[in-house]
Amino acid sequence: MSIADDYIADEYSLQSLTIQPCVKYTDDEIALGTATGFLVNYKNINFLVTNRHVLSGIDTNTGNVIHKQGAVPNLLRIFHHCNPDLTITGYGAWTLRFEDLIDDNEKPCWFSHPQWNCTRDMDYYWEKNIDIAVLPLLDTDNVGFHYVNQFHNGSS
């Protein structure tokens, strides 16, 4: 029996990715936590979808910084699946990639729910519990993509 016979994966388990928001100072990275996300492809752009508080470091309900020492993430570690063509079994191997969360102008590289960009009062967002963000992916060499199909209704 080979490892390929032992590895069982379905389309749904392959879609979930482990991510770690980090603070990067010079050459050191400090992980601030662990979360999950999934991939979608929209207009030929690969996006990671996750919670807004993961990328911002800000609690959606209180507006406070989440980390005890006040650290806010500026880098994201993403544990992607390797491109299946590059592995012995086709699945089961991971490749670590990094994405900036803040650009050179101190602006987020990610996008929030569109209503976060309107002129409503913060209480509106807390009341609606809007906590979603997308990050366009740039560091994708040798990554195997397993997208969530946003148009699939779950029926066979």
pLDDT digits (tens, 9 = 90+) for 23-35: 998 888 899 999 9
Q: pLDDT above 90 covers what percent of the chain?
A: 44
The CATH number assigned to the domain holding 124 equals 2.40.10
* pLDDT interval class at 147 (50, 70, 90): confident
Domain total of the chain: 1
pLDDT value at residue 8: 53
Closest CA to 128 of 70, 57, 49, 52: 52
Report the C-alpha gap between 133 and 136 in whole angstroms: 10
Range of 128's domain?
3-144
Per-residue pLDDT, averaged over 62-74, amounts to 90
Report yes or no on whether pTM surpasses 0.85. no
Q: Tell me whether residue 149 is in a domain.
A: no
Q: Tell me whether residue 56 is in a domain.
A: yes
Q: Is there a contact between 14 and 81 (Cβ–Cβ < 8 Å)? A: yes
Q: Tell me whether residue 116 is in a domain.
A: yes
